[in-house]
């Protein structure tokens, strides 16, 4: 675990084990193929994303696969590294999959709970270079995750931007604003090309006496 401090709130960067990435992708693919289950787990009406599909992870799978325990362990480690306190409770409120394709995006928003997180299970073969065609030499933000805090000022960038990599996962306080940029993939019939940006997120609560710093 890396503890990052690009601005006020601290952020934890961890790696989802490839075995877990495979479990989560296989689970996602099964839901995609099951119309009844896909409709049952639809989560997009509770989220702000302008994306193709978002669905909630079932509790049974979350526990049996070890995903919820993986999250809880890293939340505990994050709290310990920052506060040097051992948590007594970590409640995973929900976790969900986001399937994003060309021209889709997630606007600036915050989450519920005490802590949240986001990471990647799949990334597109092509992010698109449309932005660079307009502004030569500029950083291409396509598909990036932006974490935003405060206002750009002297010695304060306000935006922490990261390009998705499979397995990368970030944990941050629920109030930290964040957004996902759209990307532009050139569609073809080549089955080897992936056009999906697949991410996974969660919300969790920790001990009230740890969360309430004024307690």
Running along the chain, 215 residues long, what does each successive block of 10 average in pLDDT? 94 98 96 91 80 92 97 97 92 95 92 96 82 61 93 88 96 97 74 81 95 84
Chain center to CA of 124: 16
* CATH topology for the 2-206 domain: Jelly Rolls (2.60.120)
Rounded Cα distance between 105 and 74, Å, is 27
**Strand, helix or coil at 79?**
helix
**What span, in angstroms and rounded, lies between the C-alpha atoms of 110 and 62?**
23
The string of pLDDT tens digits covering residues 2-54 is 999 999 899 999 999 999 999 999 999 999 999 998 889 888 777 777 888 89
- Specify whether the CB–CB gap between 131 and 140 falls below 8 A: yes
| Burial class of 53 by CB neighbour count within 10 A (0 to 12, 13 to 18, 19+) | buried
Residue 41 in 3-state DSSP?
A: coil
Q: Classify residue 59 as left (phi > 0), alpha (psi -120 to 50) or beta.
A: alpha
| Boundaries of every domain in the chain | 2-206
pTM: predicted TM-score of the whole model, two decimal places:
0.91
115 forms bridges with which residues in the sheet? 173, 204
């Amino acid at each position: 675990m890396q503890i990052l401090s690009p601005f006020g709130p601290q952020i934890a960067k961890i790696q989802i084990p490839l075995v877990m990435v495979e479990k989560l992708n296989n689970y996602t693919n099964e839901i995609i193929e099951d119309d009844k289950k896909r409709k049952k787990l639809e989560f997009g009406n509770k989220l702000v994303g302008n994306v193709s599909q978002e669905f909630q992870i079932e509790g049974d799978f979350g526990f049996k696969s070890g995903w919820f325990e993986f999250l809880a362990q890293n939340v505990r480690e994050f709290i310990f590294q920052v506060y040097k306190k051992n948590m007594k409770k970590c409640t995973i409120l929900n976790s969900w999959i986001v399937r994003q394709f060309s021209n889709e995006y997630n606007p600036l928003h915050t989450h519920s709970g005490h802590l949240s997180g986001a990471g990647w299970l799949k990334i597109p073969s092509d992010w698109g270079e449309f932005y660079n065609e307009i502004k030569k030499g500029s950083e291409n933000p396509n598909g990036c995750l932006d974490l935003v805090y405060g206002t750009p000022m002297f010695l304060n960038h306000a935006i922490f931007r990261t390009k998705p990599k499979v397995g990368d996962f970030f944990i941050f306080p629920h109030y930290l604003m964040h957004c996902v940029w759209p990307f532009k993939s050139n569609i073809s019939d080549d089955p080897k090309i992936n056009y999906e940006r697949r991410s996974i997120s969660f919300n969790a609560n920790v001990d009230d006496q740890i969360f309430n710093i004024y307690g």
